[in-house]
Amino acid sequence: MIKPEAQIHIKNLRLRTYIGFNESEKQNKQDVVINAWIHYPASQAYDTDNVENAVNYRTICKEMIAHTESNRFLLLEKLTADLLELCMTSNNVTFAKVEVAKPHALRFADSVSLTLSATREQ
């Protein structure tokens, strides 16, 4: 029996937050670009066509926005880990990966990003 795994991708979520440890970074919001990949077994969702059996990506996205915009972070690692935890909240999520990028953080580079992932033991 085939058990397809859904792959949700929240792509290029552009937000502003306080991130960094330099004085200018502590005083001025900066742009961040967030990408998240969320995997879960989809068969129950498509068999029943019931939203209760699916991962609600809208809810996850709203939580990511609220958390990012209402907090301050010294490190990309902290923001990325927090967002990964939000993605893993649903018990049927089997894998999640989050990338957070800071555009123009380095001279001559488009951005600097950090990626974290987690797998739920089955």
In a domain, residue 118? The reply is no
At 72, which CATH number?
Answer: 3.30.1130.10
**Tens digits of per-residue pLDDT, 36-52?**
999 999 888 888 888 88
In a domain, residue 117? The reply is no
In a domain, residue 83? The reply is yes
Quote the domain boundaries for residue 72.
5-105
In a domain, residue 110? The reply is no
In a domain, residue 114? The reply is no
Whether the Cβ atoms of residue 64 and residue 13 lie closer than 8 Å to each other = yes
**Tens digits of per-residue pLDDT, 107-121?**
899 999 999 999 998
**Tens digits of per-residue pLDDT, 88-105?**
999 899 999 999 999 988
Beginning with the edge strand found earlier in the chain, give each strand of the sheet holding 5-19 in spatial order: 72-73, 5-19, 30-41, 95-103, 111-119
In a domain, residue 119? The reply is no
SS3 103: strand
In a domain, residue 71? The reply is yes
In a domain, residue 120? The reply is no
Tally of domains within the chain: 1
Q: What is the DSSP letter of 72?
A: E
pLDDT at 1: 65
The whole-number average pLDDT for the span 2-25 is 91
pTM of the predicted model, to two decimals? 0.91
Examine the pLDDT at 62 and tell me if it is beyond 90. Answer: yes
